[in-house]
Structure 1
Amino acid sequence: MIGPSPVENVSYHQQMVWERGRGRAIEDGARISYELRRGLQIILLNLHPALGANRNRSAGELWRTLQNSGARTERG
């Protein structure tokens, strides 16, 4: 993540450019995080038929359900 501006004495314009870039990086990170969670959810639903009835549950909930079902799961 991009932190605060590395230079204290910068122009207003330079600071706004920095903040806009920082905001975009945060938004991109949130979007990527959402896409990864959604992708994991889809993979889990496709791998384990018993999870098919749980389509509205989060990826974390599906993972815990899969673990509790006795299915073999490994974390890498």
Structure 2
Amino acid sequence: MSAYQKYTELDVWKHSRALASHVYELTATFPKSEQFGIVSQIRRCVVSVPSNIAEGRGRLYKKETIQFLSIARG
């Protein structure tokens, strides 16, 4: 195994993607009146974790990578 892994190979990214899929399934059962309110906010939140991991992994400098991973962590 190499020291550098693609973000798609990271367990944390895989788990966060799986969580996002589950959240999308769950929020699909919410009332239609909530689609543009709480459902939208929950979905944006859960998608931001794997997105920030991927963004951070693509950065050239370690400091930038750490910043995006920190955002993903919350």
Q: Normalization by structure 2: what TM-score?
A: 0.35
- The structure having more radius of gyration, on CA atoms, is 1
Q: Normalization by structure 1: what TM-score?
A: 0.35
Structure with bigger helix share is: 2
